[in-house]
C-alpha cells in the first residue's frame, strides 16, 4: 500500500472536504446520516482504485477525484440501503443508520446519497462526463440487480453455483471494475485499456468474494474479526454450500438439509458438522480453485494492459494483498 500513499492522501483529503460540506448541509436529518456512514471508514478500496486507474496512464490523479468520490458515495448509499434490506444492526462495528435514526431517515438519506454521487460526477471534466455517466449508471443498475438476485436466493430453493457467480459479479465485482475504468476514462485511456482494467477489477472482485466465503468458514478464530461460521449458521447460500449440494450424494444431501433446518442442533455443532461435510466433499479446494481461476484471468488482463510496468506491478501487488488475507 506504500506505493499508494500519495493517492491515499489526495483521496482522504477530498473525503474530508466532502464531510465538511455534509456536516453543514441542511436539512441535517438528510445529510447527517451520510456523514456518519462515510465517517465509519472502511478501506476506501473503490475510490482508491479510481485514482489508481487514472494514475496508471500517467494522468494527474486529481482529474479523477470527483469520479472517485462518486464511487464512494454510491458504495455508501448501497451500504445504508442493504442494511435496511438485511435488517442489520451493525455496520463496521457501529450501529447501522436505520437503527441509529430510523427506517425513513435511512431510506431517504440513502436516496440523497446516491443522487449526490451523480451530482459529484457532474463536476468531472466536461469531456469525460458522458462516458463516465454511461458506465456509472449501467454499473449502478447492475448492483441493484445483484442485490435483488441475492434477495431472491434466500427464498429460492434451487440456486446453482453459476447463479451464485452471476450474483456476486453484479452485486460486488462490477463496481470494482467500474471504479478502475472510471479512473482510466479520466486519464483518456484507450477503450481497449479501459476494458482490460475493468475486467481486471471485476475478476479480482469475484475472487475476493469467493475467498471471503472460504474465510468465513476456515479463518483462524482469533485473527478473524467476526464469528467464524456465521454464513453456515445463517444458511447463507455461499459458493461452498451450493457446491456441496451439487456434489452431495443422497445421504449427504439429507444430512446437509437436516443440519441447515434442524431446530435442535446447536450453532457450534452445526458449524462443526457442516464444515466436516465440506471437508469430505472437498468444496474448500473447489472454491479456492474457482477463486484462483478468476485471479488468473484478472492478472492476464493486467498483463495485456498497455501502461507503465512498475505501476502495473504496484496494482498487481495491491490486488494480491487484498486477496491474500489471513486464513
Q: Using the minimum distance from each CB to a copy of itself, give the nearer residue, 107 or 288.
A: 107
Burial class of 11 by CB neighbour count within 10 A (0 to 12, 13 to 18, 19+): buried
27 preceded by a cis bond (ω within 30 of 0) = yes
Q: Are 220 and 326 in contact (CB under 8 A)?
A: yes
In the complex, the smallest distance separating the C-beta of residue 108 from a copy of itself, rounded to whole angstroms, is 6
Question: Could you tell me the three cell numbers for 20?
Answer: 465538511
Residue with C-alpha cell 472517485?
A: 68
Helix extents (H) in 156-262: 161-168, 174-186, 191-218, 230-233, 239-247, 250-261
Question: Could you tell me the three cell numbers for 85?
Answer: 434490506
**Per-residue burial over 58-86, b = 16 or more CB atoms within 10 Å of its CB, e = otherwise:** ebebebbbbbbbbbbbbbbbbbbbbbbee
Q: Using the minimum distance from each CB to a copy of itself, give the nearer residue, 112 or 229.
A: 112
Q: Using the minimum distance from each CB to a copy of itself, give the nearer residue, 185 or 307.
A: 185
Q: Tell me how many residues contact a copy of itself (CB under 8 A).
A: 38
CA 313 and chain centroid, separation:
22
Q: Using the minimum distance from each CB to a copy of itself, give the nearer residue, 62 or 137.
A: 137
Within a 10 A sphere around the Cβ of 263, how many other Cβ atoms?
4
| Interacting span for a copy of itself (CB under 8 A) from 60-68, 139-147, 226-234, 281-289 | 139-147
Q: Is 255 in the site for a copy of itself (CB under 8 A)?
A: no
Question: Could you tell me the three cell numbers for 195?
Answer: 476494458
Q: Is 137 in the site for a copy of itself (CB under 8 A)?
A: yes
**Nearest of 244, 214, 243, 209 to residue 228 by alpha carbon:** 214
Q: Using the minimum distance from each CB to a copy of itself, give the nearer residue, 163 or 255.
A: 163
Q: Using the minimum distance from each CB to a copy of itself, give the nearer residue, 20 or 115.
A: 115
Q: Is 157 in the site for a copy of itself (CB under 8 A)?
A: no
Residues 106-135 that bind a copy of itself (CB under 8 A): 107-112, 114-116, 118-119, 121-122, 126, 129-130, 133-134
Residue with C-alpha cell 448541509?
A: 25
Q: Using the minimum distance from each CB to a copy of itself, give the nearer residue, 121 or 281.
A: 121
In the complex, the smallest distance separating the C-beta of residue 138 from a copy of itself, rounded to whole angstroms, is 6
Among 45, 49, 79, 149, binds a copy of itself (CB under 8 A): 149
Gap between the Cα atoms of 299 and 201, Å rounded: 10
Q: Using the minimum distance from each CB to a copy of itself, give the nearer residue, 107 or 299.
A: 107
Q: Using the minimum distance from each CB to a copy of itself, give the nearer residue, 80 or 323.
A: 80
Residues 69-88 that bind a copy of itself (CB under 8 A): 81, 84-85
| Rg, Å, the chain Cα set | 21
Among 16, 29, 246, 279, binds a copy of itself (CB under 8 A): 29
In the complex, the smallest distance separating the C-beta of residue 22 from a copy of itself, rounded to whole angstroms, is 12
Gap between the Cα atoms of 240 and 172, Å rounded: 18
Among 40, 144, 265, 299, binds a copy of itself (CB under 8 A): 144
In the complex, the smallest distance separating the C-beta of residue 134 from a copy of itself, rounded to whole angstroms, is 4
CA angle 155, 160, 163 (to 5 degrees): 85
Residues of this chain that bind a copy of itself (CB under 8 A)? 26-27, 29-30, 81, 84-85, 104, 107-112, 114-116, 118-119, 121-122, 126, 129-130, 133-134, 136-138, 140-141, 144-145, 147-149, 151-152
Amino acid at each position: 500500500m506504500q506505493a499508494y500513499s500519495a493517492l491515499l492522501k489526495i483521496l482522504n483529503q477530498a473525503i474530508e472536504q466532502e464531510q465538511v460540506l455534509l456536516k453543514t448541509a441542511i436539512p441535517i436529518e438528510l445529510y447527517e446520516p451520510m456523514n456518519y456512514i462515510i465517517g465509519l471508514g472502511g478501506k476506501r478500496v473503490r475510490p482508491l482504485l479510481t485514482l489508481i486507474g487514472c494514475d496508471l496512464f500517467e494522468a494527474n490523479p486529481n482529474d479523477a477525484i470527483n469520479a472517485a468520490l462518486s464511487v464512494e458515495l454510491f458504495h455508501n448509499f448501497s451500504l445504508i440501503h442493504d442494511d435496511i434490506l438485511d435488517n442489520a444492526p451493525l455496520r463496521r462495528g457501529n450501529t447501522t443508520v436505520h437503527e441509529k435514526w430510523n427506517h425513513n431517515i435511512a431510506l431517504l438519506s440513502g436516496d440523497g446519497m446516491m443522487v449526490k454521487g451523480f451530482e459529484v460526477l457532474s463536476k468531472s471534466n466536461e469531456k469525460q462526463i458522458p462516458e463516465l455517466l454511461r458506465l456509472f449508471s449501467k454499473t449502478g443498475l447492475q448492483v441493484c440487480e445483484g442485490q435483488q438476485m441475492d434477495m431472491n436466493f434466500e427464498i429460492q430453493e434451487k440456486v446453482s453455483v453459476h447463479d451464485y457467480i452471476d450474483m456476486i459479479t453484479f452485486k460486488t465485482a462490477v463496481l470494482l471494475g467500474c471504479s478502475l475504468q472510471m479512473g482510466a476514462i479520466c486519464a483518456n485511456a484507450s477503450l481497449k485499456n479501459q476494458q482490460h482494467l475493468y475486467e481486471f477489477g471485476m475478476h479480482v472482485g469475484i475472487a475476493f468474494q469467493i475467498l471471503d466465503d472460504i474465510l468465513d468458514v476456515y479463518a483462524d478464530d482469533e485473527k478473524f474479526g467476526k464469528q467464524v461460521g456465521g454464513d453456515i449458521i445463517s444458511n447463507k447460500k455461499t459458493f461452498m454450500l451450493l457446491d456441496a449440494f451439487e456434489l452431495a450424494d443422497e445421504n449427504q444431501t439429507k444430512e446437509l438439509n437436516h443440519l441447515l433446518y434442524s431446530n435442535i442442533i446447536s450453532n457450534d455443532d452445526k458449524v462443526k458438522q457442516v464444515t466436516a461435510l465440506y471437508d469430505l466433499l472437498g468444496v474448500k479446494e473447489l472454491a479456492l480453485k474457482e477463486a484462483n481461476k478468476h485471479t488468473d484471468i484478472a492478472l492476464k488482463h493486467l498483463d495485456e494492459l498497455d501502461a507503465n510496468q512498475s505501476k502495473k506491478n504496484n496494482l498487481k501487488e495491491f490486488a494480491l494483498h487484498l486477496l491474500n488475507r489471513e486464513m
